């Protein structure tokens, strides 16, 4: 059974759980995700992997309660169990394909926003364990919404905080923080941005202006997680992609964020789904060919 080994509240409506899932822990890589169900009647919830321990057979997930199903998840206690945990799914981070010695030559920046800090931490820890030092900007609206602060500090060379209200770190959003570092002469040649879609959009606009190649994660728009439902359809460089099977990471400069945000809003209503089916035709769905 997929026992809840540890449960901890990280912030308002944000929870961390360590779950016993040895098969997933044995194969998981940074950038990948898994799907959990609270019980046999529960919805399938895709979540990026925050951490994994192959020897102990456990994976760490972080989630925010935004609906009935995630609220039910938050009510599980240590000793309770999930009905199932499926994974790892999706593709590992592109950084995992680059030789370690080549990674050590790069000046890499991560930008984390909100619960996007969880998948960022997984990549930072993997890099740190391989002797690669990177910087990170972690942003939130206010100090109380920052999560995993100590864990992030332990695996970064320089960790910068940015809060919209100025309650901690740099006063402003992550783009303000990056521009400030750039103006001070700090340079990067690779960037990974994970967080709310609007944050990733403006971060990518800035990194393109500064000439920093950027990768983003579209895990936030996934629903089914297996390419069956078509919820995570997006345009990348004018080509149709599905975040769950083609990603979840993509070239941030090529992602059509406006289309993705508009589509996410439409997909929440049945009328919107019907309109998307009409507009998108054969490319509406994932890889099953049958609209669910």
The reported pLDDT for the residue numbered 288 is 42
The reported pLDDT for the residue numbered 136 is 98
Phi-psi map region of 13: left, alpha, beta (phi>0 left; psi -120 to 50 alpha) = left
Distance, CA of 119 to CA of 49 (rounded, Å): 6
Tokens representing residue 234 in the block = 């997006």
Phi-psi map region of 240: left, alpha, beta (phi>0 left; psi -120 to 50 alpha) = beta
Tokens representing residue 173 in the block = 């959003």
Tokens representing residue 178 in the block = 């990056």
The reported pLDDT for the residue numbered 221 is 80
**Cα separation of the two ends of the chain:** 29
Residue that the structure tokens 């901890």 belong to: 8
The SS3 call for residue 153 is helix
Distance, CA of 17 to CA of 58 (rounded, Å): 10
CA–CA–CA angle 141, 247, 63 (5° rounding):
40
Residue that the structure tokens 């967080």 belong to: 195
Strands (E), 49-178: 51-53, 58-64, 81-82, 84-89, 108-113, 135-140, 158-163, 170-171
Distance, CA of 146 to CA of 283 (rounded, Å): 38
Q: Which residues of the chain have pLDDT under 50?
A: 270-271, 273, 287-292
The reported pLDDT for the residue numbered 266 is 54
Domains of the chain in start order, with CATH, are 2-89 (2.40.30.10), 94-217 (3.40.50.80)
The reported pLDDT for the residue numbered 289 is 40
Q: How long, in residues, is the chain? A: 292
pTM: 0.88
Neighbours of 84 (CB within 10 A): 17
Sign of the Cα torsion 151, 218, 267, 196 reads positive
């Amino acid at each position: 059974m997929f026992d809840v080994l540890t449960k901890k509240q990280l912030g308002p409506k944000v929870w961390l759980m360590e779950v016993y899932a040895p098969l997933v822990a044995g194969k998981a890589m940074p950038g990948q995700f898994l799907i959990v169900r609270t019980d046999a009647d529960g919805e399938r919830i895709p979540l990026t992997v925050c951490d994994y321990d192959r020897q102990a057979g456990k994976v760490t997930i972080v989630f925010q309660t935004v609906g009935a199903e995630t609220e039910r998840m938050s009510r599980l206690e240590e000793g309770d169990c999930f009905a199932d945990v499926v994974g790892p799914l999706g593709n590992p981070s592109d950084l995992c394909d680059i030789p370690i010695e080549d990674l050590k030559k790069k000046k890499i920046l991560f930008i984390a926003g909100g619960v996007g800090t969880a998948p960022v931490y997984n990549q930072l820890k993997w890099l740190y364990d391989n002797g690669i030092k990177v910087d990170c900007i972690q942003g939130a609206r206010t100090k109380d919404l920052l999560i995993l602060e100590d864990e992030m500090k332990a695996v970064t060379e320089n960790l910068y905080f940015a809060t919209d209200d100025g309650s901690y770190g740099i006063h402003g959003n992550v783009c303000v923080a990056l521009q400030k570092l750039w103006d001070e002469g700090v340079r990067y040649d690779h960037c990974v941005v994970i967080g709310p879609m609007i944050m990733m959009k403006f971060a990518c606009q800035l990194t393109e202006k500064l000439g920093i190649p950027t990768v983003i994660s579209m895990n936030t728009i996934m629903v089914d997680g297996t390419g069956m439902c078509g919820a995570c359809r997006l345009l990348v460089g004018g080509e149709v992609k599905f975040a769950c099977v083609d990603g979840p990471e993509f070239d941030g400069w090529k992602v059509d964020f406006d289309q993705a945000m508009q589509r996410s809003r439409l997909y929440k209503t049945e009328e919107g789904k019907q309109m998307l089916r009409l507009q998108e035709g054969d490319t509406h769905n994932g890889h099953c060919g049958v609209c669910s």
